[in-house]
Amino acid sequence: MELLYNTALLQPRMVAYWAKIPVVRAAMLAHPEAEWVWWLDADAVITDMDFAPPLATRYKDYNLVVHGWDREVYEARSWVGLNAGVFLIRNCQWSLDFMDAWASMGPASPEYARWGKTLKATLSDKPDDQSALAYLLLKNPKKWGARTYLEHEYYFQGHWAEIVDKLDGVAARRFGPALRRRHAEGEHALYAAARNAALRKKAGGVPGPDGGGQKASAWRRPFVTHFTGCNPCGGKPNEIYSNESCAEGMRRALNLADDQVLRAYGFRHAGPLKGDVRPL
């Protein structure tokens, strides 16, 4: 997949968390050949290089995939019933219309103040992009909700605080000799398929594709570890967490991911969560 890294405000008034909407829309228009666009916040880390989102099966009838729970959004009306920091969106007219509806609730809209009052009255006291997304699904279940998949059966994006302390156990899991031996980058797809088959067997039918259910997290690496709440990019760290816990958690997650990449090139970390690199 092609990686697009952006630090620019394409719409100067769509600041902070709202900035993703014009960026994703621009990517969709610039790449009509792409069937899906995958947004990840800057504080999200891909920590399983062998997992492929089930686009052609689980999500084939949907245009938007977000981490969340139907009950929390549609019944509890909670703005934290989903997370807008990581999402998959199909490159189609439905999605362009959805992005326009979402953007119309943001700070570039003349109706922004009115929408803020509506969101506070309906969902929470935080009128942001996430509460706006929840509101769209809640108020338009047939138009928007029917084509949106709220994923919670695997770590489509998992909160770092419940993940990073488990990474030692995940990294220590071992399979047979054929899977311990890493091959060249060009053979990685074959390796990933074999590893996923082994994980499905180990997980024993736990919900979630390829043994990825959160109950089986001791086996499957989390797909995305999201450091939401640490606020590493805003210049003012969240006082709820210590700088040390966030930084150490990021180091562990990045080393776990990096170790998987390095092995395809004949190297590895001294330990999957350690910083030192050595030849295989």
* Domain termination site, one of 109, 135, 151: 151
In a domain, 221, yes or no: yes
Work out how many domains the chain is built from and give that number. Answer: 2
> CA dist 149 to 73, 76, 146, 280, Å?
12, 17, 8, 41
One domain, residues 86 and 138: yes
Cβ atoms < 10 Å from Cβ of 278 = 10
User: How far apart are the C-alpha atoms of 184 and 26, rounded to whole Å?
Assistant: 35
Q: What would the pLDDT profile of 229-273 be if each residue is shown by its tens digit?
A: 888 776 777 888 887 899 999 999 999 999 888 887 888 888 888
* Domain termination site, one of 123, 151, 179: 151
In a domain, 47, yes or no: no
- Check whether 218 has a pLDDT greater than 60: no
> CA dist 192 to 199, 240, 259, Å?
10, 37, 15
One domain, residues 165 and 123: no
One domain, residues 126 and 110: yes
One domain, residues 197 and 83: no
> Could you identify the residue written with the tokens 């031996």?
181
One domain, residues 61 and 171: no
pLDDT of amino acid 211? 65
One domain, residues 147 and 61: yes
Domain that residue 92 falls in: 16-34+52-151
* Domain termination site, one of 125, 151, 177: 151
Res. 279 pLDDT band, cuts 50 70 90: confident
Strand partners of residue 277? 269
In a domain, 40, yes or no: no
One domain, residues 139 and 178: no
Q: What would the pLDDT profile of 75-103 be if each residue is shown by its tens digit?
A: 999 888 999 999 999 999 999 999 999 99
One domain, residues 141 and 208: no
In a domain, 264, yes or no: yes
Cβ atoms < 10 Å from Cβ of 224 = 22
Q: What would the pLDDT profile of 102-149 be if each residue is shown by its tens digit?
A: 999 999 999 999 998 998 888 866 778 999 999 999 999 999 999 999
One domain, residues 66 and 107: yes
In a domain, 8, yes or no: no
User: How far apart are the C-alpha atoms of 23 and 80, rounded to whole Å?
Assistant: 23
> CA dist 199 to 114, 167, 270, Å?
49, 16, 24
User: Helices marked H in the chain — which ranges?
Assistant: 20-30, 70, 93-103, 112-122, 129-139, 167-172, 177-180, 188-203, 243-263
User: How far apart are the C-alpha atoms of 76 and 74, rounded to whole Å?
Assistant: 6
Query: CB burial class (10 A; 0-12, 13-18, 19+) of residue 5?
Result: exposed
pTM: 0.91
Res. 223 pLDDT band, cuts 50 70 90: very high
In a domain, 41, yes or no: no
User: How far apart are the C-alpha atoms of 83 and 230, rounded to whole Å?
Assistant: 15
In a domain, 274, yes or no: yes
One domain, residues 175 and 272: yes
One domain, residues 105 and 191: no
In a domain, 42, yes or no: no
Give the list of residues 6+ apart from residue 37 with CB closer than 8 angstroms, or none: 24, 27, 28, 31, 88, 89, 91
One domain, residues 185 and 113: no
